Amino acid sequence: MTTDTTYLLGHDPAELARLEHQAQILAPATTTVLQLAGIVPGMRVLDLGTGAGDVAFQVAELVGPTGSVVGVDQSVQALAFAAHRTEQRGLTNVSFLHDDLRTVPITGQFDAVVGRLVLLYLPDPHDVLRRFAGLVRKGGVVAMMEYEMAAAGALPPTALSEQVGFWVTESFRRSGLDPSLGARLAQVMRRAGLDGATMLGLQGYCEPGDRTGPRMAAGTIRTLLPVLGKTGIATPAEVDIETLEDRIAQDCAHHDVIFKFPTLVGAWARVA
């Protein structure tokens, strides 16, 4: 087993809290994708890169007590938090496996493999997906979700929203990760041997005065601060992280603009 020394975002308590907040925002889009993909009661499902367990919990609700979910992640901290939350929820059909998706010697048969915001971090996402799709029974489902980050911003755009959007997309780009992977998911699935995936992008919005978006944006930048500095995108003084959420919120309210979340793209296919 390897550990997550190369994972861009880390798993300190602030990042786990950010994941939880992001998961609340993404919950409706995630349920929509999972339902359209065909996750139904009784299924045995694998959740790739489960993190704090949020997708696994949504799947658990859909598969019900006769189904089960196994979440895989390489982070001990994230899985400890996920296990704690599972206990708090009284869920008995969710379990976790600590391992690296690139090398985990997992066996068994599943009705579905799902994953949200994880393929982005894998250098060869199609290879990993091909291996896990091989565990899905014929007629079963593979359903993956990733961001199209470039869709995020303000409507109409403001100087600050453009700046923050650039900081986010450029941090991923300069780290060798594709901020628009969501839009390319069907291609990744095809390279994994899963032809004809259906793709759907779902985007959330918030009104001027609603701090949900500014909080998410500032939380993302907080997590990316070391990357921003290391890659020369922005200095701590330019970011001024302690005031960023307030400044984004004030900017939205002042210009009366709509905050646009990144689009969550779902892609799903049946295993032939």
Under the rule (CB under 6 A), what is the footprint of ligand SAM? 4, 7, 9, 19, 23, 49-51, 54-55, 73-75, 78, 100-102, 116-118, 121-122
Taking the complex as a whole, how short is the minimal distance between the CB of residue 168 and ligand SAM, in angstroms?
A: 13
Taking the complex as a whole, how short is the minimal distance between the CB of residue 164 and ligand SAM, in angstroms?
A: 18
Taking the complex as a whole, how short is the minimal distance between the CB of residue 254 and ligand SAM, in angstroms?
A: 31
**Identity of the residue, 73 or 251, whose beta carbon is nearer to ligand SAM in the bound complex:** 73
Which two structure tokens, joined as six digits, stand for 62? Answer: 């859909």
Task: Classify burial at 94, counting beta carbons within 10 Å of its beta carbon; exposed 0-12, middle 13-18, buried 19 or more.
Answer: buried
Taking the complex as a whole, how short is the minimal distance between the CB of residue 87 and ligand SAM, in angstroms?
A: 18
Taking the complex as a whole, how short is the minimal distance between the CB of residue 243 and ligand SAM, in angstroms?
A: 25
Q: Is the dihedral of CA 160, 161, 163, 167 positive or negative?
A: positive
| Per-residue 3-state assignment (H helix, E strand, C coil) for the chain | CCCCCCCCCCCCHHHHHHHHHHHHHHHHHHHHHHHHHCCCCCCEEEEECCCCCHHHHHHHHHHCCCCEEEEEECCHHHHHHHHHHHHHHCCCCEEEEECCCCCCCCCCCEEEEEEECCHHHCCCHHHHHHHHHCCEEEEEEEEEEEEEHHHCEEECCCHHHHHHHHHHHHHHHHCCCCCCHHHHHHHHHHHCCCCCCEEEEECCEECCCCCHHHHHHHHHHHHHHHHHHHCCCCCHHHHCHHHHHHHHHHHHHHHCCEEECCEEEEEEEECC
Taking the complex as a whole, how short is the minimal distance between the CB of residue 11 and ligand SAM, in angstroms?
A: 7
- Nearest residue to ligand SAM by CB is 51
**Identity of the residue, 40 or 177, whose beta carbon is nearer to ligand SAM in the bound complex:** 177
**Identity of the residue, 37 or 117, whose beta carbon is nearer to ligand SAM in the bound complex:** 117
Taking the complex as a whole, how short is the minimal distance between the CB of residue 114 and ligand SAM, in angstroms?
A: 9
**Identity of the residue, 116 or 260, whose beta carbon is nearer to ligand SAM in the bound complex:** 116
**Identity of the residue, 142 or 249, whose beta carbon is nearer to ligand SAM in the bound complex:** 142
Which two structure tokens, joined as six digits, stand for 125? Answer: 């996402």
**Identity of the residue, 96 or 167, whose beta carbon is nearer to ligand SAM in the bound complex:** 96
**Identity of the residue, 50 or 68, whose beta carbon is nearer to ligand SAM in the bound complex:** 50
